[in-house]
Every structure is written in C-alpha cells, then in structure tokens.
Amino acid sequence: MHSIDPIFRRRRQAALERRHKARLRRLVAGLAAVLAVTVAGAGYYIFHERRGGGDLDQNLTPVDTGGDLPADASVYVPTIVDLPGDPMLITLAEGNTGSSDKKTVARPAALT
C-alpha cells in the first residue's frame, strides 16, 4: 500500500495557514484603510464649516457701488437668451421637409 509522507501533509497544511493569514491581513488592512478614509472624510465634513466662517448671512455688509447706473448705460446680455419674439424651431421628425407643416403664430399681446 502506498501512503503520502507526513512531512508533505504538514507542509501543505502550513502553506494553507500562511495563505489564510495573508488573506486575513489584507482584509484587515483594507478595512482599516476604508475606516481611516471614512473618519477623515467625516472629520472634514463636520469641522470644515467652522473653519470656513460659519453662517454667511451674518457676515454680509452693504457696499457702495459708486452710484446708480444711468438709464442709457449698456448692459451685458448673454448670447443665449430666450428673448420675447425670438424664433423657436421645433423639429418633430428627422428628414421632414416641413414646408407644409410650418405655421405662423401671432405674438401674444403681453410680450409686445
């Protein structure tokens, strides 16, 4: 009858234990890293407002702007603005010629 030398079994068992311990160490290290990042993030979230000055409404003070603007002063208006009367194109289907579907709608009196 054949049998396996007990030294090989002990070595195999020792190798399995080493792998198990290494896996357990990696798991504990990963959990510790996640815990450290969580604690650091929570600390930053909780204490950041106190260092930042707290409630901003308490710190507001009126500032002189140098006078009122004249009525004819130029005002910056962004390029993309929905001004009353601007044309609005609504495409219902691609490839549609649209020649028979176009309708002209009068501007509402409130917008003039």
Per-residue pLDDT of the chain (112 residues; tens, 9 = 90+): 678 788 998 999 999 999 999 999 999 999 999 999 999 999 988 887 655 555 556 667 777 766 676 677 776 666 666 666 666 676 666 665 656 666 778 888 887 6
**By the 8 A CB rule, do 53 and 59 touch?**
yes
48 lies in some domain? yes
46 lies in some domain? yes
99 lies in some domain? no
- Counting the structural domains of the chain, the total is 1
15 lies in some domain? yes
74 lies in some domain? no
Q: Which residues contact 84 (CB under 8 A, 6 or more apart)?
A: 107, 111, 112
Flag whether the pTM goes above 0.85. Answer: no
Q: Which domain holds residue 34?
A: 1-54
**DSSP 3-state of 23:** helix
73 lies in some domain? no
103 lies in some domain? no
Q: H or E segment at 47?
A: helix 6-52
**By the 8 A CB rule, do 109 and 84 touch?**
no
